[in-house]
Each structure stands twice: as C-alpha cells, then as structure tokens.
Amino acid sequence: MTSTDAKEQAIKSIARVGVIGCGQMGAGIAEVSARAGMDVVVHEIDAATAERGRNRMISSFDKAVARNKMTEEERDATIANLTFTTDLADMADRRMVIEAVIEDEALKTQVFSTLDKVVEADDAILASNTSSIPIMKLGMATERPENVVGIHFFNPVPVLKLVELVTSLMTSKQTIERSERFADDILGKIVIRSKDRAGFVVNALLIPYILSAIRMMESGFATAEDIDHGMVEGCNHPMGPLALADLIGLDTTAAVAESMYEEFKEPLYAAPAMLSRMVEAGLLGRKTGRGFYDYS
C-alpha cells in the first residue's frame, strides 16, 4: 500500500472526530483535526464556554491567515468542519473521541463512562489527552477498555509536532495502529509510544525540571528571570521553565506533579509549597493573566 492509500484509508476509518473540552488543549486538538479535513464535533459544558472556545479557534485561524499560513478559503473550510455542542449524546456517531477536560481523575472517569454509553460504533476509539492519569483507570470506566488509549498532545498543539501514544495493558493492537495512523498520517504528528505510567515519557522528565526551578526561586537562590534566562541562553531552550509552567498552566503542572507523586512517592515529584499557594490564589499562568509573570 502506498503512503497516500494508507492515509486515505485512515481518513475513511476515522473521519468523524469528537473533542471533549475546548480549553487550550481541546481547542488545539479540534483545530488540527479540522485543518486535516476531519468532521469535528466539540463538546463544552455550557454555551458560553463553547462560544469562548470557538472564538479562541477563530482568532487562531485569523492569525494564520494574516501570517499567510492559511488562505481565507482554507480558514472557511476549516471552520465549516467544526460543530459545537453541550450534549455528550452528540458524540454518538463519532469514530474517534478525544477527551481533553481538566486534569481531574473523577471528571475524566465520568466522561469515559458516559462516552461508553453514547458512542455507537464498536470500533470507535475513546482517547484521552491526559498528561498523567493512568489510561487503565479510564479504560476500566468503560465496557471496552481495548478501545481506550492515550493520545497526548503538547501545547501549543498547532505548533508542537509530538504526540505520545499511551497504551494500557488492555488496549488492543487495532486501537494502537489506528490511533497511530490518526496522529501520524492524518494530523502529521510525530508519534512516540509510552507504557501506562504516570507522566509517560515527556512529563516524567519535564515536571521534575520545572519543580526544581520553582524550588530554586522559592529558596531565593535566583530570580525567575535569571532562572529562565539561564535555560534559554545557556541551553537554547525556546523558553525557561517558569515561563513554560505559565504556558502549561500552574493548575495543570500541579495536577501532573500530584499524579506522579501519588504513583512513585518520590520527593522530586512533590509540588513545592509556592506552586500550591499560587494555584490556591488562582495565579494559574497565562490563562489567568498572572503566574510567575504578569501577562495583563
């Protein structure tokens, strides 16, 4: 089979995508899926939140048009591929549903249990964009754990190429292969595979690094600016660890750290007090206008 045939077959077998949650990750996943020609239904909890997600996506398309990365026709065709809903029952005819709600195990489990009841096709893939929650726990919330897989994207989704494909002990070979084709052939992402351990590959390395930077700042050893400049100028990272925590969201950073600490009980995964206090204060980074830096 040529690569064009493989792509066409993958498109046909998926074609109808659902995305649960339209925050920064969900909006990015819906955007790249719609840009790849998929028919995408996006779910949000209420009409106002769905409208905010839709506006965020439209402004991203407008920016792409202004930067000559997309024509106006492509933008209009992409927008036409997107539908918004507040009813999970609208996922019934989807062949691939990607959950991207906040990093809360109880909420994600509930979403998977509902999707299991409403999604009709026996071979539909139920995927999670979780950063750290075991895929097995989400799979066992359904009657079809063999169809449940982790497809973990990186922020900003339209820019970063990587996807971690996370398989539980119960994920079937067919689900793994079809998910890989979706991420690779359809979305054009680079796929790495990970077993089902909290943090998977990238966060297992990234989160202790970010937590060390927070501890360094907390102890008064160096300023946020100097820590970030150190890694940008000294190691050629695109951004420093504290600016990156602000981009990821401090609530998400803390939630991922907590899942990893719960799994491994190692101090390097424990959230520093400063991170917990900032989350309690609602200083969540870029999305709230203030984190380690001020974005207002």
Applying CB under 6 A, which residues contact ligand CAA? Answer: 60, 67, 131, 154-156, 158-160, 203, 206, 238-239, 244, 248, 252, 256
Nearer Cβ to ligand CAA (68/296): 68
The catalytic residue positions are 131, 152, 164, 203
Nearer Cβ to ligand CAA (91/198): 198
Rounded least distance, CB 257 to ligand CAA, Å: 10
Nearer Cβ to ligand CAA (4/236): 236
Rounded least distance, CB 117 to ligand CAA, Å: 28
Rounded least distance, CB 160 to ligand CAA, Å: 6
Strand order in the sheet with 16-20: 82-85, 39-43, 16-20, 96-99, 125-128, 148-153, 162-167, 190-195
Nearer Cβ to ligand CAA (113/230): 230
Rounded least distance, CB 256 to ligand CAA, Å: 6
Rounded least distance, CB 120 to ligand CAA, Å: 30
Nearer Cβ to ligand CAA (156/230): 156
Dump the DSSP string for the chain.
--HHHHHHHHHHHH-EEEEE--SHHHHHHHHHHHHTT-EEEEE-SSHHHHHHHHHHHHHHHHHHHHTTSS-HHHHHHHHHTEEEES-GGGGTT-SEEEE---S-HHHHHHHHHHHHHH---TT-EEEE--SSS-HHHHHTTSS-GGGEEEEEE-SSTTT--EEEEEE-TT--HHHHHHHHHIIIIIT--EEEEEES-TTTTHHHHHHHHHHHHHHHHHTTSS-HHHHHHHHHHHH--SS-HHHHHHHH-HHHHHHHHHHHHHHH--GGGSPPHHHHHHHHTT--BGGGTBSSSB--
